[in-house]
Amino acid sequence: MPRPSLPPSAVRPAVVRPAALPLVALPLAAALVLSACTGPSAAAGAAGPSASPSPSSVEPSTPASGGHGEAAPAHWSYTGAEGPEHWAELSDEYGTCTLGEHQSPVDLPAVPPAPTAQVELTTGAVTGAVADTGHVLQLTATGSEGGLVHEGRALHLVQLHAHTPAEHTVAGEAVDAEVHLVHEDAEGLLVVGVRVRTGAPSPAWETFLEGEGSGAPVRLDTADLLPAGGVFWSYAGSLTTPPCSEPVRWVVLADTVEMSAEQLAALGEAHGDSARPVQDLGDREVTAGVLVRTAG
C-alpha cells in the first residue's frame, strides 16, 4: 500500500481529551444481541448487558447484509448524528453504551498504583488477514502461537487493531494511537492496550500496513508489538464500540511503543479519529500489575 512520506507535523500531537460526560439512563427496549462466535457470519444469540461479549464485537467486521432474515447491525460512526453520544439512539442493541456502569475507555492515573496482579503472556507468531472493518484496520487471527494466563484463565489471541488517537488517556493526555490485542476464553474477553507515540518506524507495523487489502495472510510476532516494560493499569470495563458490552477486563501497559509519523498517518487516513471519548470511572477501582513474558 504505497503511502506518501509525510512530515511529522502531519500526525496529530498528543491531545487532551475532555472530561467524561455523566451517564444518562435510557429505556432498554430489547435484549443485547451478540455474535456467538468470532466470525461475522456467526449465528446471533440474545444476552443481557452483563454477558461476555464475543471477540468480533470488540471491533466488529463490516456488517454483512443480514442473510436468513437477520437485519444487519445499525451503522455507527465516530462523528455526527451516528457518533458516540448517539450510539444508544441508533439501536436497542446499543443501549448499554448509555446504560452501562462499567464503560470504556477511561482516564487512568498518571502513576500506576503498587502492582497486585500478574499476567503471564506467551509471545509468538500470529497469522491472519488485515482488513478495513469500516472503522479501523484489523488483523483477525487464523492462527496464533501465543496467549496469556490471568487469574487462572487461559486466553488466546483472536484479533488486534489500532485506534487513532489513543482511547485511554493518562492524566487527561491521549497519545497518538492505541493498539488493542484482544484475547478470549469461555468466560469472556481480556484486552491488552498498547499506547503508541510518534518516533522510530516499527517493522512489525509496516508488515501490518502492507498487508491491508492484499488478501494475503500476514505473520507478526506479538513480542514485536509490546514495550519493554511490563507494568500495567487494570480495571473492569467494556467494549469501546457498539454494542459497548460489559464486562471486559482491560490491561493497559504503562510504557509506550513507537511508530513513525508515516505509519501513524496511514493508520488514521482511512477513518480519521477512531477513539471513543473517555467514560465516567464511577466507583470502579483501577489496579496495577506486571506483564511477565515468555517466548512461545
What does 89-119 look like in DSSP terms, one character per residue?
HH-GGGTHHHH-SS-S--EEPSS-----EEE
The answer to whether the beta carbons of residues 162 and 177 sit under 8 Å apart is yes
pLDDT at residue 164 in the model: 97
Digitized pLDDT (tens) for each residue of the chain, 296 residues in all? 444 444 444 444 444 444 443 333 333 332 322 232 333 322 222 223 333 454 444 554 333 334 455 678 899 999 999 999 999 999 999 999 999 999 999 999 999 999 999 999 999 999 999 999 999 999 999 999 889 999 999 999 999 999 999 999 999 999 999 999 999 999 999 999 999 999 999 999 999 999 988 888 999 999 999 999 999 999 999 999 999 999 999 999 999 999 999 999 999 887 789 999 999 999 999 999 999 999 87
Q: Answer yes or no: is 260 within a domain.
A: yes
Report yes or no on 7 lying in a domain.
no
| HSE toward the beta carbon, residue 258, CA cutoff 13 A | 6
Q: Are 168 and 278 in contact (CB under 8 A)?
A: yes
Asked if residue 9 is part of any domain, the answer here is: no
**Any domain includes 28:** yes
Position 214 scores a pLDDT of 84
pLDDT at 17: 47
Domain that includes residue 268, residue range: 14-295
Among the options 102, 135, 161, 183, which is catalytic?
A: 135
Number of domains observed in the structure of the chain: 1
Are the CB atoms for 130 and 137 separated by under 8 Å? yes
| Residue 183 annotated in active site | no
Query: What pLDDT was estimated at residue 254?
Result: 98
Q: Are 187 and 160 in contact (CB under 8 A)?
A: no
Q: Using CA atoms, how far apart are residues 262 and 176, in angstroms rounded to an integer?
A: 12
Q: What is the CATH number of the domain that holds 147?
A: 3.10.200.10
pLDDT at residue 97, as a whole number = 98
| The three cell numbers locating residue 137 | 484496520
Beta bridge partners of 118: 290
Q: Is residue 2 part of a domain?
A: no
In a domain, 97, yes or no: yes
Judge if pTM exceeds 0.85.
no
Q: What are 57-113's pLDDT values in tens digits?
A: 455 433 333 445 567 889 999 999 999 999 999 999 999 999 999 999 999 999 999
pLDDT of residue 70: 61
134 inside domain: yes
Question: For position 57, what pLDDT does the model report?
Answer: 44
Query: Is the backbone peptide bond immediately before 105 cis, with ω within 30 degrees of 0?
Result: yes
